[in-house]
């Protein structure tokens, strides 16, 4: 024990990270060490030496699926050490130099660790200010998806996009890939001249003949927000600081769908202070994009599956925009603090939607989020992952992607709604506004947030502290009993309609005229478990679910179709699974199929054709569900 403490203390002094003994894994709540944190998913040792600026110069080669170039870093050698550590995974390092004079220096790649990759140790001197890493990415770089023309909307040119969150930036740039390390960057990228190249930075709005583009990101960001997208895309402005990029054939639809974006941005600023990133643009990617959206600074990446034609799925834009405060400005220090990014953003998203579309609308979003939360709690309990229902996670030794569930979103936002209801809106809004400005461009641990909450909101009021009960919300699994519940008349009406239908009213006579997507989702989610095939057909005939152009409604309907073996929907289901790579849709559908032997057989047949269209984030999840060996089907 004594020896352990001495060791701990020595480690603390030397590298200023918390010690890895079982009883002292994290800085304790309320301890003076709370601002020191250890990121279990990065090899970097920020207390020794950190990057402060990246100057990236790269050539993108579509034929060989490689990104080749040099990452020039300005570093801060805090401790006068003789080494600096970077994260890499599947990178070929050609050479490393140091200083402006580019003196070649020795480097070493560490042992390969599953999903973490390899540490790159570069020799430096206490005076070293610049480190230049010459390297090339491999075709299998997990962040990057290389698309053939066939996989794009216009089908003429190839396409590339990256997805760096959570720990995939290291597969295309050697970097200190920890959300607790921030740096500014500039870049020079050369791409085939038929294509436009964009980054999470200042961006061009049209192609040039040279295919060479320059970028600047003057606000410090963490590595998971590094992003690159290359394709034959065009730009259309919405107002002077917002706009949309998309392939030609979908630009009109995208522009129309997102027309309220400027209003959303104003609403967000009214709530929590000025937008700090200059422009806010959105690019609509091909359907293989594995997420709904990704908050890459200045340029949100979005799935085309939110182009519903009626603006009903644009809360996703509000969500990614909200990350410009919660996440991009005040950033979770490690992936264990993921709820600080997503819980705050999900709360903020609903506040933006309320401001732009009204309280009734926002209530439906809250109610759907609550349903998602109940489903997640049930699933995680059944899977033996009850500890993952805590807001503060313990992902050490695990792939962060496995533990970063919807709990962070739905329980996290409900916790903030709970505080809002206790303190009143005005007080809570003021608190949040200050939280964002006081901590701008910094990283935040859960413990530092709690201290901020104590200092600026609770202020010694023990009664208030008891009512908020932060400890239970954050460190205990499940949901505290006194959690808020959001009721909406509109969903109650939907439930009345379901009752009427089950009582004999024909489906087409139900009063569904004014229903929005959200009411339809509630309708489908509340269907009884024992629907007959005749009932499924009646619903389909009356409401044309199988032919719906709305991806959320379709996915919910397919879920029912699989459960009730409603085969009329299968051809469309198959087409959907082949075309769309968004993991949130794929995962529950493949899981539902895998529940029966015939379903599993069908799923595996579809997957053979679908897998080549998926990004690694999605196929890694589905491989596991279908117990798929990468050698099967000879793809990817």
Instruction: Select 26 or 551, whichever has its Cβ closest to Zn ion.
Output: 551
Q: How far apart are CB 521 and ligand BES at their closest, in Å?
A: 14
Burial 33-45 (b: 16+ CB within 10 A, else e): bbebbbbbbbbbb
Q: How many helices (H) and strands (E) does the chain have?
A: 20, 21
Q: How far apart are CB 613 and ligand BES at their closest, in Å?
A: 17
Angle at 168 (CA atoms; ends 305, 385), nearest 5 degrees: 80
- Cα 266 from Cα 545, distance rounded (Å): 36
Q: Which DSSP string corresponds to 191-215?
A: --TTSEEEESSS--SS--TT-EEEE
- Residue of the chain from 222, 293, 403, 581 that contacts ligand BES (CB under 6 A): 293
> Among Zn ion, ligand BES, none, what does residue 623 contact (CB within 5–8 Å per kind)?
none
Residues in the interface with ligand BES (CB under 6 A) total 15
**Is residue 404 a contact residue for ligand BES (CB under 6 A)?**
yes
Q: Which stretch binds ligand BES (CB under 6 A): 33-41, 141-149, 293-301, 364-372?
A: 293-301
Provide the mask over 406-445, with x wherever binding to ligand BES is found by CB under 6 A and - wherever it is not: ---x------------------------------------
Q: Which stretch binds Zn ion (CB under 5 A): 76-84, 90-98, 169-177, 343-351?
A: 343-351
In which residue are the tokens 């490690």 written?
334
As given in the structure block, the two tokens for residue 62 are 């579509």
- Cα 577 from Cα 571, distance rounded (Å): 10
Phi, psi (deg, nearest 5) at residue 38: -115, 125
- Return the active site residues: 320, 409
**Is residue 621 a contact residue for ligand BES (CB under 6 A)?**
no
Instruction: Select 337 or 342, whichever has its Cβ closest to Zn ion.
Output: 342
Instruction: Select 584 or 604, whichever has its Cβ closest to ligand BES.
Output: 584
Instruction: Select 413 or 488, whichever has its Cβ closest to Zn ion.
Output: 413
**Is residue 98 a contact residue for ligand BES (CB under 6 A)?**
no
> Among ligand BES, Zn ion, none, what does residue 37 contact (CB within 5–8 Å per kind)?
none
The answer to whether the CB of 182 falls within 8 A of the CB of 441 is: yes
Q: How far apart are CB 372 and ligand BES at their closest, in Å?
A: 9
Instruction: Select 303 or 548, whichever has its Cβ closest to Zn ion.
Output: 303
Q: Which stretch binds ligand BES (CB under 6 A): 52-60, 292-300, 425-433, 551-559?
A: 292-300
Instruction: Please state whether beta strands 280-284 and 242-247 pair in parallel, antiparallel, or not at all (unpaired).
Output: parallel
In which residue are the tokens 């890499």 written?
88
Q: How far apart are CB 323 and Zn ion at their closest, in Å?
A: 6
- Cα 397 from Cα 41, distance rounded (Å): 8
Instruction: Select 232 or 342, whichever has its Cβ closest to Zn ion.
Output: 342
**Is residue 556 a contact residue for ligand BES (CB under 6 A)?**
no
Q: How far apart are CB 617 and ligand BES at their closest, in Å?
A: 7
- Residue of the chain from 165, 312, 334, 546 that contacts ligand BES (CB under 6 A): 165
Instruction: Select 548 or 616, whichever has its Cβ closest to ligand BES.
Output: 616
**Is residue 67 a contact residue for ligand BES (CB under 6 A)?**
no
- Residue of the chain from 17, 67, 166, 265 that contacts ligand BES (CB under 6 A): 166
Provide the mask over 233-272, with x wherever binding to ligand BES is found by CB under 6 A and - wherever it is not: ----------------------------------------
Q: Which stretch binds ligand BES (CB under 6 A): 86-94, 146-154, 290-298, 485-493?
A: 290-298
Q: Which stretch binds Zn ion (CB under 5 A): 132-140, 273-281, 337-345, 591-599?
A: 337-345
Q: How far apart are CB 183 and Zn ion at their closest, in Å?
A: 22
As given in the structure block, the two tokens for residue 565 are 């073996």
> Among ligand BES, Zn ion, none, what does residue 354 contact (CB within 5–8 Å per kind)?
none
- For residue 101, the tally of other CB atoms under 10 A from its CB is 7
**Is residue 292 a contact residue for ligand BES (CB under 6 A)?**
yes
The alpha carbon dihedral of 433, 438, 441, 444 has a sign of negative
Burial 579-613 (b: 16+ CB within 10 A, else e): ebbbbbbbebbbbbbbeeeebbebbbebbeebbeb
Instruction: Select 219 or 546, whichever has its Cβ closest to ligand BES.
Output: 219
Q: How far apart are CB 186 and Zn ion at their closest, in Å?
A: 26
Q: How many residues does the chain have?
A: 636
- Cα 82 from Cα 126, distance rounded (Å): 6
SS3 per-residue string spanning 500-546 = HHHCCCCHHHCCCCCCCHHHHHHHHHCCCCCCCHHHHHHHHHHHCHH
Instruction: Select 277 or 576, whichever has its Cβ closest to Zn ion.
Output: 277
Q: How far apart are CB 129 and Zn ion at their closest, in Å?
A: 35
**Is residue 41 a contact residue for ligand BES (CB under 6 A)?**
no
Site for ligand BES in 316-335 (CB under 6 A): 316, 319-320, 323
- Cα 91 from Cα 628, distance rounded (Å): 26
Identify whether 166 is preceded by a cis peptide bond (ω within 30 of 0). yes
Reference 293, options 305, 302, 280, 306; nearest CA is 302
On the 0-12 / 13-18 / 19+ scale of CB atoms within 10 A, 136 is: middle
Q: How far apart are CB 318 and ligand BES at their closest, in Å?
A: 8
- Residue of the chain from 107, 213, 291, 473 that contacts ligand BES (CB under 6 A): 291
Instruction: Please state whether beta strands 50-61 and 228-231 pair in parallel, antiparallel, or not at all (unpaired).
Output: unpaired
**Is residue 295 a contact residue for ligand BES (CB under 6 A)?**
yes
As given in the structure block, the two tokens for residue 324 are 């410009």
DSSP 8-state class, residue 439: T
* Angular region, 102: left φ>0, alpha ψ -120 to 50, beta rest: left
- For residue 515, the tally of other CB atoms under 10 A from its CB is 18
Instruction: Select 338 or 576, whichever has its Cβ closest to Zn ion.
Output: 338
Q: How far apart are CB 320 and Zn ion at their closest, in Å?
A: 7
Interface contacts to ligand BES, rule CB under 6 A: 165-166, 291-295, 316, 319-320, 323, 342, 404, 409, 584
Interface contacts to Zn ion, rule CB under 5 A: 342, 345
């Amino acid at each position: 024990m004594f020896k352990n403490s001495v060791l701990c203390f020595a480690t603390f002094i030397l590298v200023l990270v918390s010690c890895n003994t079982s009883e002292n894994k994290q800085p304790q709540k309320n301890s003076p060490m709370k601002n020191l944190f250890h990121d279990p998913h990065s090899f970097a040792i920020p207390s020794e030496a950190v990057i402060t600026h990246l100057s990236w110069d790269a050539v993108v080669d579509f034929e060989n699926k490689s990104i080749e170039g040099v990452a020039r870093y300005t570093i801060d050698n805090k401790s006068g050490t003789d080494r600096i550590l970077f994260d890499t995974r599947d990178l070929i390092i050609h050479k490393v130099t140091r200083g402006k004079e580019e003196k070649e220096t020795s480097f070493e790649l560490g042992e390969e660790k599953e999903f973490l990759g390899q540490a790159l140790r570069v020799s430096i001197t206490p005076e070293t200010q610049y480190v230049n890493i010459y390297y090339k990415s491999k075709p299998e770089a997990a962040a990057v998806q290389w698309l053939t023309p066939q996989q794009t909307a216009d089908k003429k040119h190839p396409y590339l996009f990256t997805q760096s969150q959570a720990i995939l930036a290291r597969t295309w740039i050697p970097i200190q890939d920890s959300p607790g390390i921030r740096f500014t960057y500039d870049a020079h990228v050369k791409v085939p001249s038929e294509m436009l190249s964009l980054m999470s930075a200042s961006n061009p709005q049209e192609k040039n003949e040279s295919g060479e583009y320059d970028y600047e990101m003057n606000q410090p960001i963490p590595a998971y927000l590094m992003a690159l997208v290359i394709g034959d895309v065009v730009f259309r402005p919405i107002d002077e600081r917002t706009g949309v990029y998309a392939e030609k054939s979908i630009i009109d639809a995208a522009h129309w769908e997102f027309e309220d974006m400027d209003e959303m941005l104003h609403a967000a600023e009214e709530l929590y202070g000025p937008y700090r990133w200059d422009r806010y643009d959105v690019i609509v990617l091909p359907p293989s994009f594995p997420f709904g959206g990704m908050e890459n600074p200045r340029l949100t990446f979005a799935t085309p599956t939110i182009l519903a034609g009626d603006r009903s799925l644009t809360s996703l834009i509000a969500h990614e925009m909200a990350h410009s405060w919660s996440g991009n400005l005040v950033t979770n220090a490690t992936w264990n603090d993921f709820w600080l990014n997503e819980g705050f953003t999900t709360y903020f998203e609903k506040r933006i939607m309320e401001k732009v579309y009204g309280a009734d609308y926002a209530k439906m979003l809250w109610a759907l989020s609550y349903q998602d939360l109940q489903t997640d709690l049930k699933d995680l309990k059944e899977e033996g992952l009850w500890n993952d229902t805590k807001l503060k996670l313990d992902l050490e030794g695990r792939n962060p992607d496995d533990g970063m569930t919807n709990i962070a979103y739905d329980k996290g936002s409900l916790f903030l709604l709970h505080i809002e209801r206790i303190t009143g809106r005005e007080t809570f809004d003021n608190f949040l506004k200050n939280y964002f400005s006081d901590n701008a461009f910094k990283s935040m641990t859960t413990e530092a947030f709690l201290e901020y909450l104590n200092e600026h909101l609770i202020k010694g009021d023990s009664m208030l502290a008891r009512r908020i009960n932060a400890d239970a919300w954050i460190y205990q699994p499940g949901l505290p009993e006194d959690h808020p519940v959001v009721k909406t008349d509109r969903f109650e009406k939907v439930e009345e309609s379901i009752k009427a239908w089950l009582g004999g009213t024909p489906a087409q006579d139900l009063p569904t005229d004014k229903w929005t997507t959200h009411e339809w989702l509630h309708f489908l989610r509340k269907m009884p478990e024992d629907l007959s095939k005749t009932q499924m057909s009646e619903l389909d005939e009356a409401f044309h679910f199988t032919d719906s152009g709305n991806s959320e409604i379709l996915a919910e309907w397919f879920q029912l179709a699989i459960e009730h073996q409603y085969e009329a929907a299968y051809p469309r289901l198959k087409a959907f699974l082949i075309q769309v790579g968004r993991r949130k849709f794929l995962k529950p559908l493949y899981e539902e199929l895998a529940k029966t032997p015939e379903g599993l057989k069908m799923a595996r047949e579809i997957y053979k054709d679908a897998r080549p269209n998926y990004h690694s984030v999605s196929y890694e999840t589905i491989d596991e569900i279908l117990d798929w060996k990468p050698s099967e089907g000879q793809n990817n």
